[in-house]
């Protein structure tokens, strides 16, 4: 990558180098309940093939996306490619049991074993504990709990690095402060429309923990526009969010900037953020995203957008599962 906006950066203290753009593979798992549309397998595989050949070297998935379908499709793409492309970094997430709610260490072990099988790999470079808001902090860090299980996998060489990924910001700060995680992934909480993750970004960057900022379009409204996609973070957008999104779109038009470029670069330009995870379900999105990341934006656009304000409250989105 030639542009400094897109050059490789260290992923915390892991020794891994990642691009500031990361392919979010949730929509590739065919999740119509979450995104309101499905993704056929061939389209997902073509998107992955395109991503493997692109300047992006980072992909984000989870055991639970499409109940394993995202990982299974990534596994097929890896196999067809003869392995992960050189220098590529694949991150996944270990999940609770969605039927029983079981978030025990045993369940996390089963989740990691399923990820290895679905991805067709014998080693995972990066595993987050996913959505820890669905259990207690004490369970996650306690004896025999999810963290200890992942650390055991790490000692055995099955997992290289461990992170934490979820919703509520105060909870994520508490996990970051344990010092047990090299990266924290937040979603829908640091966008043009919502900045509730701001304190997390401060704490993590102070501690040298990589911040991975997912869903810079708030699940789509800031890419497709408020008329085409009137939702924020997988739920109907509130009137104030819709009004702000319309105002943002109008100002962006005055500056001749796509709303998506402003939304993406809002995240990319923040020095506290290591990588921004963009959900994509179509092959053409890969190049479009690189172009949006490089789109020239006059500095005057940023204060013009600020003038409309933004939310600092948690969007209460525990629904992305
Ligand atoms: N708890 C967690 O750990 C957590 C939670 C949420 C998200 N994540 C991660 O973050 C990723 C991103 O989140 P997200 O997908 O929910 O939200 P997002 O990145 O804010 O938005 C994705 C949506 O934007 C659309 N889009 C992307 N580029 C576009 C373009 N150039 N033009 C028009 N539309 C465009 C996509 O549409 P198309 O489908 O048409 O491409 C998709 O519907 C997920 O895939 C996942 O990997 C993690």
Domain ranges of the chain: 4-224+259-299
Give the pLDDT of residue 29.
95
Minimum mean pLDDT among 29-38, 149-158, 312-321: which range? 312-321
Fold of the CATH domain 4-224+259-299: TIM Barrel (3.20.20)
How far apart, in whole angstroms, are the C-alpha atoms of residue 223 and residue 109? 37
pLDDT score, position 175: 98
Residue whose CA lies nearest to ligand 1 atom number 46: 24
Let me know: does 318 contact 133? Beta carbons within 8 Å: yes
Sequence length of the chain is 321
- CA quadruple 163, 168, 171, 176: dihedral sign: positive
d(CA 238, ligand 1 centre) in Å? 19
Residue 182, Ramachandran bin (φ over 0: left; ψ between -120 and 50: alpha; else beta): alpha
- For the chain, the maximum distance between any two Cα atoms, rounded to a whole number of angstroms, is 57
Q: Please give the model's pTM, rounded to 2 decimal places.
A: 0.96
Spacing, Cα 225 to ligand 1 middle (Å): 13
Q: Which pLDDT score is estimated for 34?
A: 80
CA 28 to ligand 1: nearest atom: 45
Q: Ligand 1 within 6 A of 226 CB?
A: no
Whether the CB of 214 sits within 6 Å of ligand 1: yes
CA dihedral 194, 200, 202, 207 (to 10 degrees): -160
Q: Parallel, antiparallel, or unpaired: how do β-strands 235-236 and 231-232 relate? A: antiparallel
Instruction: Tell me how far the alpha carbon of residue 318 lies from the centroid of ligand 1, in angstroms.
Output: 16
Residue 320: closest CA among 22, 71, 44, 27: 27
Q: Whose CA is nearest to atom 2 of ligand 1?
A: 166
Distance (Å) from CA 152 to ligand 1 centroid:
32
Residue nearest to atom 44 of ligand 1 (CA): 24
Query: Cβ(154) to ligand 1 under 6 A?
Result: no
pLDDT(53) > 50:
yes
How big, in percent rounded to 5, are the helix, strand and coil portions of the chain? Answer: 45, 15, 40
Q: Angle at which helices 198-207 and 169-176 pack, to 10 degrees?
A: 10
315 pocket-lining for ligand 1 (C-beta < 6 Å): no
Which pLDDT tens digit goes with each residue over 202-250?
A: 999 999 999 999 999 999 999 999 999 999 999 999 999 999 999 999 9
CA-nearest residue for atom 25, ligand 1, is 220
DSSP 75-92: HHHHHHHTSSPTT-EEEE
Out of 21, 22, 23, 24, give the residue to mutate to test ligand 1, the one with the largest number of ligand atoms within 8 Å of its CB.
Answer: 24
How confident is residue 316, by pLDDT bands cut at 50, 70 and 90? Answer: confident
Using a 6 Å cutoff on CB, does residue 220 contact ligand 1? yes
Gap between the Cα atoms of 158 and 152, Å rounded: 9
pLDDT at 3: 53
CA 278 to centroid of ligand 1, rounded, Å: 5
Ligand 1 center to 280 CA (angstroms):
6
Question: Residue 1: what pLDDT?
Answer: 37
Q: Is 12 in the pocket of ligand 1 (CB under 6 A)?
A: no
Task: Retrieve residue 15's tokens.
Answer: 């020794």
Out of 267, 278, 290, 315, give the residue to mutate to test ligand 1, the one with the largest number of ligand atoms within 8 Å of its CB. 278
Which pLDDT score is estimated for 33?
80
pLDDT at 320 exceeding the cut of 70 = no
The tens digit of pLDDT for each residue in 2-16 reads 455 678 999 999 999
């Amino acid at each position: 990558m030639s542009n400094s906006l897109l050059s490789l950066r260290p992923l915390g203290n892991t020794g891994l180098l990642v691009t500031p753009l990361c392919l979010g593979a949730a929509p590739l798992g065919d999740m119509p309940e979450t995104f309101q549309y499905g993704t056929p397998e061939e389209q997902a595989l073509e998107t992955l093939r395109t991503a493997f050949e692109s300047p992006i070297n980072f992909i984000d998935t989870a055991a639970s996306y499409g109940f394993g379908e995202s990982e299974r499709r990534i596994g097929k793409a890896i196999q067809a490619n003869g392995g992960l492309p050189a220098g590529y970094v694949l991150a996944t997430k270990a999940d609770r049991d969605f039927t029983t709610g079981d978030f025990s260490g045993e369940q996390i072990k089963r989740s990691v074993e399923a990820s290895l099988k679905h991805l067709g790999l014998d080693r995972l470079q990066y595993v987050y504990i996913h959505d820890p808001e669905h259990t207690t902090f004490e369970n996650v860090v306690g004896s025999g709990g999810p963290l200890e299980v992942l650390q055991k996998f790490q000692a055995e060489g099955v997992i290289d690095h461990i992170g934490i990924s979820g919703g509520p910001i105060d909870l994520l700060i508490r996990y970051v402060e344990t010092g047990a995680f090299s990266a924290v992934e937040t979603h829908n909480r640091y966008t043009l429309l919502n900045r509730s993750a701001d304190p997390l970004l401060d704490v993590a960057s102070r501690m040298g923990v990589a911040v991975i900022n997912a869903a810079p379009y708030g699940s789509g409204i800031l890419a497709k526009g408020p008329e085409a996609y009137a939702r924020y973070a997988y739920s109907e957008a509130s009137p104030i969010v819709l009004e702000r999104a319309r105002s943002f779109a109008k100002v962006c038009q005055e500056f001749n900037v796509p709303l998506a470029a402003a939304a993406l670069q809002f995240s990319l330009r923040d020095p506290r953020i290591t990588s921004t995870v963009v959900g994509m379900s179509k092959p053409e999105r890969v190049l479009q995203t690189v172009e949006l990341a490089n789109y020239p934006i006059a500095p005057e656009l940023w204060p013009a957008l600020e003038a409309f304000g933004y939310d600092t409250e948690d969007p209460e989105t525990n629904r992305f599962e």
